[in-house]
Structures are given as C-alpha cells and as structure tokens.
Amino acid sequence: MDHNKAMNRIRATALISAGSACFLLTLGAIQEGRIREIPFDTVYSYNGQKGMKWIVPEEKEYGESLPLPGASNVFFVTGDEIKDAVIQTLMVLNHGYGVDDVALSRQRSNQFWLVAYLGTANIPSFTVKSIEIEKKTIRVRFSPPPQNVGSLPSITLSWYWAPLGTLNPGTYTLELWNEDRREISLMRKVTI
C-alpha cells in the first residue's frame, strides 16, 4: 500500500510537472511573439515631440541639410550613433541611396535605425503614439495634426529616428499606421 501511494504521488508530480512545462512553453511562445515598443526616450525627433530627444540636423554639422519632402516615408539606415543615422538619411534623400536593400550601408555598422517621415505641418504637428516591433513588422503609430488649425507661421518637419539595434537577416515590413483612420498609410518591405 505504501508503495502504491508513493507511485501515485510520483505520477501526480510528473503530471503537474508536465503540465507546468507545457504552460511555460506556451507562455514562452506568447512572450516570444509579443510586441516590443521602442522607448520614446531613445527616439530622436526633428519636431520636438515631448518625451523624445530633439535633434535639428544643421548644415554646418552634416555638410548639407534635410530637404523639404512632401510625402511620408519610412526606411532603415545604419549607424552606431544618431549622427551616423542622420548622415545615412541624407545619403538616401540627397544622393539617391536605395532603401529597399540596406546591404551597402551595413558595411559601416550593424546597428539599425528606423527613419520615419510623417510630413510637413503647422504646429501642432504629427504625434507619434508608439513605435512597435512584432516579429519582422515595425510599425509607427501616429496621429496627424488637427485639421483647420488656421495659418500658423511655424512649420515643422516630422522626422523621427528610432534605434533598433542589431536585426536578424530577412525581409521586414515597415508601416506608418494612422491611428485616426485606423489604417496603414504607408508600407515598405526591406530585406537585410
């Protein structure tokens, strides 16, 4: 009888352990697939969004300035520091560097940055709500500026640089997600 009780305890312990292991494996899979947000205090913003680092790339520091593009854009650049990321951005915008395959710029650094341009607007400007990574999709959630604000003299360029660190090789989907319309306003596939 004592032997049977001992065997039942062992079986019960084994079942509980197996159940716990399955739960932990499932929990690990859920955590592995979860969305990771880029902290705002690591993101650089040209329009001075609250909670982000403010950067104004000046021509004297970079040798050239950011153009006044009208349409929104999203792409990767590489660089160890924000200065490197801005220089790579200028190479894309002013010198025709491609953005669908960043292999050439990877020769300089394996640290990736997401560059997002939401547009030009009067103040108040665009507002980034979050920058998220889910598997191989990187999404910038934003709200556009309020409509009919009147004619204000200050115009801002809504540029953002978010450090992503090293990324695994593969094809990534970059999205600009309009929170007000609840839809993707721009999507780009990039292979690294």
Report domain extents, the chain: 1-34, 35-191
pLDDT tens digits, 46-91? 888 899 998 877 766 777 777 766 788 999 999 999 999 998 888 8
The letter for the amino acid at 67 is P
Query: Model confidence at 192, in pLDDT bands (50, 70, 90)?
Result: confident
Distance CA 190, CA 93 (A): 17
More confident residue, 183 or 99: 183
pLDDT tens digits, 107-163? 578 899 999 999 887 766 889 999 999 999 999 999 998 765 555 556 778 899 999
Query: Model confidence at 14, in pLDDT bands (50, 70, 90)?
Result: very low
Using alpha carbons, list the distances in angstroms from residue 166 to 41, 79, 110: 19, 10, 6
**DSSP characters for 25-88?**
HHHHHHHHTS-EEPPGGG-EESS--TTSEE----HHHHSS------S-EEEEEE-SSHHHHHHH
CB within 8 A of 187, min separation 6: which ones?
Answer: 173, 174, 175, 176
Closest by Cα among 122, 121, 139 to 130: 139
Whole-number pLDDT of residue 61: 74
Whole-number pLDDT of residue 157: 81
**pTM (2 d.p.):** 0.74
Whole-number pLDDT of residue 28: 31
